[in-house]
Amino acid sequence: MTKIVVDAMGSDNYPTPDVEGAVMAAREYGVEIILTGDAAKIQPVLDSATEGSGANLPIRVVHAPEMLTMHDKGEDLVMKARHKEAQNSMAVGLDLVKSGQADAFVTMGNSGAIMVTSLFRLGRIRGVDRPGLAGPFPTMTGICTVLDIGVNPDCTPENLLQFGIMGSVYAERVRGIKNPR
C-alpha cells in the first residue's frame, strides 16, 4: 500500500482542510496516510472527519511540535529548515520519506520552506544546481507540465536548462508522454 505523508499544518486554515483531504484520499484511493504536525490540534479534526469509519482507515498521526509558516523567510527559514533535530511538520514528514517509512510527501505550505527543507533533508540529484517545483498547466490540447512554478525567483540560463531536462524526464516517466518537448 502506498504511504503518503501529509503536512497537516501546511494550509492557511490548518489542520482542517489538510486532514479532511487526507481522509478523502484514504477513503477514495486506498492509500495509507501519515499526518505530521501538532497531534493535539490534528486528532480532534481527524476524529470528526472519520466519525464512524476512523478505525477502518489507514491513517496515523506523527507528532511534530514545530511548524514553518508563510511568514518564515530568508535566514530564519534556512536556520529552521537546516537544523538536524528540527521537529517541524515538513522536516518530520520528509525524514519519514527519506527513511523509507513513506513513499511521498504533500504540503500546502510555504513553497520556499518545502524547497529549503527538502534540500537539507533529501539532498538533490548530482548535477542539478537547484530543484524546481512542477505543476500541471491546462492548455487547449491537454495538460502540460510547467517547471518552475515560482519557488526560484532568479534563475540562470543553466537553471532553466536543468528545469527543462527535469520536466522532460518527468513528463516521459511519470505522465507517460513519449518524446516530450
54, pLDDT greater than 60: no
Share of the chain above pLDDT 90, in %: 55
Q: Name the amino acid, one letter, at 7.
A: D
Q: Greatest CA span in the chain, whole angstroms?
A: 54
Topology (CATH level 3) of domain 3-122: Isopropylmalate Dehydrogenase (3.40.718)
Q: Looking at residue 161, what is its pLDDT?
A: 93
Question: Which band of pLDDT confidence, cut at 50, 70 and 90, is reported for residue 11?
Answer: very high
Rounded to an integer, the average pLDDT of 38-45 is: 97
pLDDT tens digits, 24-41: 999 999 999 999 999 999
Give start-end residues of each CATH 3.40.718.10 domain in the chain: 3-122
What's the CA gap between 158 and 127, in Å, rounded? 11
CB 34 within 8 A of CB 96: yes
Lowest mean pLDDT among 7-11, 44-48, 122-126: 122-126
Residue with cell 527519506: 98
Rounded to an integer, the average pLDDT of 148-155 is: 83
Q: pTM of this prediction?
A: 0.86
pLDDT tens digits, 90-144: 999 999 999 999 999 999 988 888 888 998 899 988 989 888 888 888 999 888 8
